[in-house]
Amino acid sequence: MSALFSEEALRRALRARPFRFYPQTASTQDDARVWALADPPAPHGAVVIAEAQSAGRGRQGRRWQAARGTSLLFSVILRPRASEHLPQYMMVGGLAVHDVLSERIGAAVTLKWPNDVLIGGRKVCGVLAEGLWLGETLNAVILGVGINVRANFGGPQEATSVEEACDCAVDRLALLGEVLARVDAWDAQVGTETLLAAWRARLSTLGRRVIVYPRDGAPPFEGVAEAVGADGALIVRLPSGERQPVRAADVGVRADWG
């Protein structure tokens, strides 16, 4: 199961899906953006895959690093039907990974608002959805996914891997194909209550006491995560009873509150 990806193996696994593969690249997100704007442009559902990347990023510019052969690192190019649905593409990626991993691991797999997949409370996957705008038109959504498949973190950590959680060997090619199929399925549900209901049902954040660290540098605040809006905002009920929408922030669960 340790074999590195190759063009030939990916073609067999992905069949008719257009893809570009880089043994090493800076960022699959950047490569996908270039391809989305190329002449001819990448079609809906095309994917950029890397075995390793030197400048991979998550939300808020965080780095995503992984040794060769240990992870799935890819970005899918999606052509949205409506710009107002852009926030829901983060849900598409999270739900796709959740579906596939929960079939292997079970109820320990959950989602953390806004873009993490957890196993037993430890991060196994990050999702990043970036809009590609041409003027006021949303030309594409670049959906980036990074999954720890066999990284060995050792000892108590905030992160885990699929193989550590399932105590089994995982075929990365098969996992890639399964996740992409679920991306297709959930992409078809963008703009529907089906997508929103599924996302809410899988969020471990809801119903929990949280501390919110706003991205704009405002002071952190605490409350109960009560709901998620159609725009992806987390609705937090403050001690005063006010319901505060949160769109750009880090959110931590206050485990010491039960």
pLDDT category of residue 258 using cuts at 50, 70 and 90: very low
What lies within 8 Å, CB to CB, of 112 at 6+ separation is: 118, 123, 203, 204, 205, 251, 253
pLDDT digits (tens, 9 = 90+) for 129-184: 999 999 999 999 999 999 999 976 655 578 999 999 999 999 999 999 999 999 99
Q: Output the domain CATH number for residue 35.
A: 3.30.930.10
Domains held by the chain: number: 2
> Domain containing 188: what range?
7-202
Q: CA-to-CA distance for 147 and 115, rounded, in angstroms? A: 12
Report the first-to-last Cα separation within the chain, whole angstroms.
Answer: 40
pLDDT digits (tens, 9 = 90+) for 222-244: 999 999 998 999 999 999 999 99
Do 220 and 167 share a structural domain? no
Q: Is residue 221 part of a domain?
A: yes
- Compute φ and ψ for 194, nearest 5 degrees: -60, -45
Q: CA-to-CA distance for 28 and 250, rounded, in angstroms? A: 24
pLDDT category of residue 55 using cuts at 50, 70 and 90: confident
CA 239 to chain centre: 31
Read off the pTM. 0.91
Q: Is residue 2 part of a domain?
A: no
